[in-house]
Amino acid sequence: MTLRRTLLRIAAQEDLNFLLTNRIPRRLATRLMGRFSRIEQPLVRDLSIATWRLFCDVDLSDARKERFRSLHDAFIRELRDGARIVDADPEVLASPCDAIVGAHGPVEGETIHQIKGMPYRLADLLADPEEAERCRGGVFVTLRLTAGMYHRFHAPADGRIEGIRYIEGDTWNVNPIALKRVEALFCRNERAVLRFRLGGTGEVLRLVPVAAILVAGLRLAFMGEDFDLREGGARTIACDAAVTRGQELGWFEHGSTIVVFAPPGYRFADGVAEGRPIRMGEALLRRDGVGAVPKPPSSS
């Protein structure tokens, strides 16, 4: 435990952390990590998982499996039945993932924040000015998945995914240290924009999973096992996939971020505050009638 605390203190030093996680060949490191993490040799697997657990808070007790073939297999683990309870209230949008709540608040103009004092243009994130304009009057919330968390993400409600926009990009770290230093970081990284139409009201959500360093892939389960998001480059992908509340949508192969955009009439659920953890399935947003005033950002 003493060694772990020492390593975590060193990693928490901002200059060093930024240097080690960003001032390296990020794409090369990501490709190499993707290959290394898939090695199934028992000694490599055990040492790599032990090293991962040394640097990160990892809880594998809720995983479906008790043994993993590789580090990658542990990263993308599935949950055992009953490990998460999905809020069934039809007026609630459930959190799509386990995460730390980041910047959140109303969408009032052309910009929102990745962290206090660091705005970015919504049109740049979505790569579509018209889609950005449609988000006005609603709310957004940033959900950061740390490296040790459960990495799969799920449908926040019943509905249909009716379109995907894939945007090529870099692999900057998305931790708070990088968010304070790199302008418009989410707009630089590889990402996808999922257009999600709610089954009950026909309102449209937008889920934006953002890749990061060491994320060797972003997978979309509802598109089928053989679908490769990166194949074909930046593009808009036609889709009409019916999904149910809590259904798995896809996964990251390391920690990353999802930015959620809800239409007007939603407020943040009780307990949602910057810096606080949330688990997949817990209430994230609640429908409060058209014209509801969204809860302002707050800190724990």
8 SS3 class: helix
In this structure, what DSSP letter does residue 222 have? Answer: G
Q: 256 catalytic, yes or no? A: yes
Which residue among 72, 104, 151, 154 is the active-site one?
154
Q: 190-228: buried (b, 16+ CB within 10 Å) or exposed (e) per residue?
A: bbbbbbbebbeeebbbbbbbbbbbbbbbbbbbbbeeeee
Q: 299 catalytic, yes or no? A: no
CA dihedral for 72, 220, 112, 246, sign (positive or negative): negative
Which residue among 48, 95, 98, 104 is the active-site one?
98
CA dihedral for 167, 125, 165, 85, sign (positive or negative): positive
Q: How far apart are CA 226 and CA 233, in angstroms?
A: 16
Q: 288 catalytic, yes or no? A: no
Q: How far apart are CA 189 and CA 125, in angstroms?
A: 9
Q: What residues are annotated to the active site?
A: 98, 154, 256
